[in-house]
Structure 1
Amino acid sequence: MSSGDLGCVIVAVDSSEESMNALNWAIRNVKLRPTDGHLLILHVQSPPSIATGLNPGAIPFGGPSDLEVPAFNAAIEKHQKRISDAIISHAVEICSENNVSYKTQVVIGDPKEKICQVVEDLHADLLVIGCRAFGPIKRIFLGSVSNYCSNHAVSPVMIVKSTS
């Protein structure tokens, strides 16, 4: 692929500084096709069940343990939406400051799987993702979205490593 030949570049962002560094890297280094190329800012929001540890707990004194509390789930979903909106807003601000056109998308699910799915669905030419540069021990316990995506995404992946 030559410079200026990219049609769809996805930058996966979360609340980390590393993901915003990846966005800045993409803005500085990626050349999109002038007519139909676009930068997609992608954020994956965790499902409420992951964010809350599956549920708020059993109801005491013999109540059902698998009962969902709608108000609790609604509050978690609203909170997660506010977080996602703030993350996207920060990324949009970076793009606006650099006069870069962009699209945004928020999906819900497991980040590593959803990022790879969106890359495949959109036939992206490149995925840009930040990396905290965890060592092998931390990676075992915490997992690595960038490592998973580099091994499973159907397009090339540019991993922008943390400088700290």
Structure 2
Amino acid sequence: MAGKQVMLVGVDDSERSFYALQWTLDHFFHSPSASPFKLVVVHAKSIPISAISLGGPGAVDILSLVEKDLKSTAERVTEKTKEACKKKGVEVEVDVTEGDARNVMCDAVEKHHASVLVLGSHGYGVFKRAVLGSVSDYCSHHAHCSVMIVKKPMAKN
């Protein structure tokens, strides 16, 4: 894989992020040996901050349960990613990093010297994006590489 550009794909536990991964595999890795890219998939493991702010008895128990759930989610995402890549015959490096997804993705671009960052779109409207924030919107403005946002087609009725 020496000399290949790095294509970084951000995944979480959503159907839309796995759609973006599958779309990337289908369009850029249909012939893995001929692809000009090395594939790196990044998962941002959340920090259980909300549980930390809980004081009093039982806070430690809650924190350990939240941490266990976040670890389980990261393992599930990693396995699902590896399986999808294996089916296509694509070598993949999976990077699980703890932190806010926006920062994790932008930092991963620098860490892996990525040429392209691929992200799925949750399809939030203007209001939800303003309130919840949008990882893809943030990365499109702050990542030091090209950013491709893959939208899952709407289901036809």
TM > 0.5 fold call: yes
Deviation at residue 69 of structure 1 after TM alignment: 4.2
Q: How many residues align?
A: 150
Deviates more, 1:25-34 or 1:12-21: 25-34
Does residue 1:26 correspond to 2:34, yes or no?
Answer: no
Q: Per the alignment, do residues 36 and 138 of structure 1 end up closer, same or farther by CA in structure 2, a change over 3 Å counting? A: closer
Answer with 1 or 2: which has the greater Rg: 1
Q: Which residue identity is paired with 1:40? A: V
Q: Which residue identity is paired with 1:46? A: S
Does residue 1:158 correspond to 2:148, yes or no?
Answer: yes
Identity of aligned residues (%): 33
Q: Per the alignment, do residues 30 and 138 of structure 1 end up closer, same or farther by CA in structure 2, a change over 3 Å counting? A: same
Q: Which residue identity is paired with 1:47? A: I
Does residue 1:9 correspond to 2:28, yes or no?
Answer: no
CA-to-partner distance for each residue in 1:25-49, whole Å, 9 max, x for gaps?
A: 2112225786994201110011111
Cα distance in 1, alignment partners of residues 60 and 56 from structure 2? 14
Q: Per the alignment, do residues 134 and 35 of structure 1 end up closer, same or farther by CA in structure 2, a change over 3 Å counting? A: closer
Is the CA contact 1:6–1:33 (under 8 Å) kept in the aligned structure 2? no
Cα distance in 2, alignment partners of residues 138 and 120 from structure 1? 28
TM-score by length of 2: 0.85
Cα distance in 2, alignment partners of residues 131 and 14 from structure 1? 11
Q: Which residue of 2 aligns with 1:59?
A: 56
After TM superposition, which residue ranges in structure 1, 4 or more long, deviate above 3 angstroms?
31-37, 68-72
Q: Which residue of 1 aligns with 2:42?
A: 42
Is the CA contact 2:28–2:35 (under 8 Å) kept in the aligned structure 1? no
Deviation at residue 74 of structure 1 after TM alignment: 2.7
Is the CA contact 1:7–1:33 (under 8 Å) kept in the aligned structure 2? no
Q: Which residue identity is paired with 1:120? A: E
**Equivalent of 2:131 in 125, 141, 159:** 141
Q: Which runs of 5+ in 1 are unaligned?
A: 61-67
CA-to-partner distance for each residue in 1:85-119, whole Å, 9 max, x for gaps?
A: 00111111111111111110100001001110110
Cα distance in 2, alignment partners of residues 10 and 16 from structure 1? 17
Cα distance in 2, alignment partners of residues 122 and 33 from structure 1? 20
Is the CA contact 2:4–2:36 (under 8 Å) kept in the aligned structure 1? no
**Equivalent of 1:117 in 107, 112, 135:** 107
Is the CA contact 1:48–1:77 (under 8 Å) kept in the aligned structure 2? yes
Cα distance in 1, alignment partners of residues 33 and 146 from structure 2? 17
Cα distance in 1, alignment partners of residues 48 and 13 from structure 2? 17
* Structure 2 SS opposite 1:125: strand
- Indicate the RMSD between aligned Cα atoms, in angstroms: 2.4
